[in-house]
Structure 1
């Protein structure tokens, strides 16, 4: 449900009753993964999606029913061989959906409100809910709003309860912190003895992190189009150039930040992480070489540089002279972008964005027509279908 936090946070503040359907597990080919959500309010307004359209009608009915009876429920949807038009995923996949009512007078509404508010503000938040186990535990929320506690246990705040034994909550807090630190949505199983409720329980943890960063170096026409593409993909986009006459708000109105500084100096002083994307569009050795020498030694997600084949070879030679190793050079995506035959800045930005997505998701960049590999890949580092037993 955190993937539609902005709208649900507004519904909470407006005092609306609503029910949320959240994908909790996926098998085979399915359009959307765990954490995808659809919500219905008391007036029948719908936001979000759990399947790209395959089972939305049936999920809508489940949400309406949950609003009426106030009970959480888990429903499984899959392809129907007998009737291709029956409720099911015609793509051949199987999904399980947890439907949770969040009425204005619900005892857990304050926990949901805190989670949605934090996620809508771009904070780091993990929301745990039981989706397999005793009926009285289904949908109960436990919230963790910081990934790492200090040595005294401070800093990792939490509220709510899964409704079982305190040991279950303790385990859920620890697993939620770990998933939040990794930026993943996933699940874990607590055995009967660990859950202290006579049966094992399976818990989904949704994680929401601040948007990943895209830093575009070089205030050129291609950068303007790439800034727009980065925003479309959900990045917090920074434009950096050492030339104040070019790095202006008038030229880059969509950028979150505009920085006038030498690129390598800004990169050295700014915050990056394993999700950060660096796009170097300057194709000028005095900017590129010190910048890339630093970038290729940082644990970021993507480093790409624009330039012709000749520029690429000359740049690699200069980087080697600066001590960049072959292993570090192998991380450089250059010339940046997939081969789309792009010409215009917008087409070039599309090719760069496509390579970033392919790198992040493990895609090949080849046409799907005629290919035999799965369309929907698991790139989470641990599929919910392979849950870890923790107690």
Structure 2
């Protein structure tokens, strides 16, 4: 979501765009309410509302909105009903709102949204459906006003943070895949020649420092996912001694069953509550037969997504 708005801001500096937003769905559809794409004056797109013939129809309508400037809805029929003109056979329908965004007013709104997301503050974007009303942002400290017209109310939440402990081969791939999946990535490793910008160009923060450097992140981040992909069990122990004092959305540890059980036994002998171990996904990642660092990174990210979307426990 953050990357989408950053790209939108970049484009608005040079071009008007039509923003397409899924406002309602019924039945089986390829995207959810709130999914977005935009089309600029050159016909280039960013984001997706599901692809296929439905998105193609939205694209054609968006080109018209670029000319007229008039807000409009597009109904996408994916029911596959033979007696209707359908754009797919997923089984459901989608309503998509097309709005022209241009000029400093639109750019200011996008920048407000970006500032909210990057500062860790949540907000709410209100998109009125009336043709003469424009979207606006409500920050977390403000009260959402009574709505006198139909509107799409979208929570804007900061992206979840993925803290990768260890900066080896798996971490390099995991940072890349994690960013693509929408995580803000932080990498920690006490080896300064491993935790580098060259190896992790997409990371928002690199900590080439001892494990105690993650303390501040643990203290202030309430939407934290932690992946231990360290070089050995001694580093696992250091990390888990800190992590056992905190609640995270996800905690996974790489290693064989023997390595995992060895770490647990040592921590238990040190007085760690055995309940803590039930919070850890270990060995880390979904069991997809992954062998290479890249495949393992994919399996880990798949598990992160599963937890993020379903809230499952180990």
Q: Is the 8 A contact 2:18 2:100 kept in 1?
A: yes
The answer to whether the aligner puts 1:351 opposite 2:279 as a matched pair is no
Q: Is the 8 A contact 1:20 1:100 kept in 2?
A: yes
Shift of 1:348: 1.3
Shift of 1:75: 3.1
1:141-187 CA distances to partner (integer Å, 9 max, x unpaired)? 1222x32x3xxxxxx5xxxxxxxxxxxxx644xxxxxxxxxxxxxxx
* Structure 1 gap segments, 5+ residues each: 150-155, 157-169, 173-189, 196-200, 365-391
Q: Identify if the C-alpha distance between structure 1 residues 84 and 261 changes in structure 2 by more than 3 Å, giving closer, same or farther.
A: farther
Q: Identify if the C-alpha distance between structure 1 residues 77 and 255 changes in structure 2 by more than 3 Å, giving closer, same or farther.
A: closer
Shift of 1:128: 0.6
* Structure 2 gap segments, 5+ residues each: none
1:58 corresponding residue in structure 2: 57
For residue 239 of structure 2, the aligned residue among 291, 298, 305 is 291
Q: Give the alignment's TM-score, normalised by structure 1.
A: 0.69
For residue 207 of structure 2, the aligned residue among 259, 269, 283 is 259
1:276 corresponding residue in structure 2: 224
The answer to whether the aligner puts 1:102 opposite 2:101 as a matched pair is yes
Q: Identify if the C-alpha distance between structure 1 residues 38 and 244 changes in structure 2 by more than 3 Å, giving closer, same or farther.
A: closer
Greater Cα shift, 240-249 or 226-235? 240-249
Shift of 1:24: 1.1
Shift of 1:91: 0.7
Q: Identify if the C-alpha distance between structure 1 residues 80 and 357 changes in structure 2 by more than 3 Å, giving closer, same or farther.
A: closer
1:129 corresponding residue in structure 2: 127
2:280 corresponding residue in structure 1: 332
Shift of 1:307: 1.1
2:45 corresponding residue in structure 1: 46
Q: Give the alignment's TM-score, normalised by structure 2.
A: 0.83
2:21 corresponding residue in structure 1: 22
Q: Is the 8 A contact 2:12 2:102 kept in 1?
A: no
Q: Is the 8 A contact 1:225 1:345 kept in 2?
A: yes
1:311 corresponding residue in structure 2: 259
2:111 corresponding residue in structure 1: 117
Shift of 1:333: 0.5
Q: Identify if the C-alpha distance between structure 1 residues 217 and 102 changes in structure 2 by more than 3 Å, giving closer, same or farther.
A: closer
User: Structure 2: how far apart are the matches of 1:350 and 1:80?
Assistant: 33
Shift of 1:92: 0.9
1:299-324 CA distances to partner (integer Å, 9 max, x unpaired)? 32110111110111122222323433
The answer to whether the aligner puts 1:232 opposite 2:180 as a matched pair is yes
